[in-house]
């Protein structure tokens, strides 16, 4: 499975699942790499039994085998939880920091709303009187 997890081979398997019956040139064009590069990786996938070739005269097209589909599903099941974890981490990092102007403004608005009906000195006045705020 490690050989199939190679990014180029993984991409070839995915493309062939979506568009079965492509040749090396068509695969290379879809991937933006040379035909020779693609042919090398197709050779490895053939050797592993993950794809099969069908010859029609001078044309050779490729299809993903049942084993190839199983391996691809296995790769996805292993990588999916990690992908979700990375997405959650990225979302947490892009969340507004409490130090951003928008967050401070929201905090101050909420504070004013909470203390609008409160008796006694306002928190800002207490800070001023204690010399903590200028």
3-state secondary structure the chain: CCCCCCHHHHHHHHHHHHCCCECHHHHHHHHCCCHHHHHHHHHHHHHHCCEEEEEECCEEEEEECHHHHHHHHHHHHHHHHHHHHHHHHHHHHHCCCCCCHHHHHHHHHHHHHHHCCCCCCCHHHHHHHCCCCC
Residue 30: per-residue pLDDT: 94
Q: Which residues of the chain have pLDDT under 70?
A: 1-5, 79-100, 103-134
Residue 38: per-residue pLDDT: 94
Residue 6: per-residue pLDDT: 84
Segments making up each domain of the chain, as ranges: 1-95, 99-134
Residue 134: per-residue pLDDT: 46
Residue 16: per-residue pLDDT: 95
Topology of the domain comprising 1-95 = Arc Repressor Mutant, subunit A (1.10.10)
């Amino acid at each position: 499975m490690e050989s199939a997890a190679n990014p180029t081979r993984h991409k070839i398997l995915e493309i062939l699942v979506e568009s079965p019956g492509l040749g090396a040139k068509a695969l290379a064009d879809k991937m933006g790499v040379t035909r020779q590069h693609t042919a090398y990786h197709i050779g490895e996938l053939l050797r592993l039994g993950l794809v099969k070739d069908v010859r029609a005269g001078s044309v050779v097209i490729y299809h993903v085998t049942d084993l190839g589909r199983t391996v691809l599903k296995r790769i996805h099941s292993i990588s999916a939880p990690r992908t979700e974890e990375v997405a959650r981490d990225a979302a947490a990092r892009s969340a507004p920091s409490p130090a951003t102007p928008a967050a401070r403004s929201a905090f101050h608005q909420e504070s004013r709303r909470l203390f609008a009906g409160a008796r006694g000195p306002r928190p800002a006045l207490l800070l001023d009187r204690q010399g903590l705020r200028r």
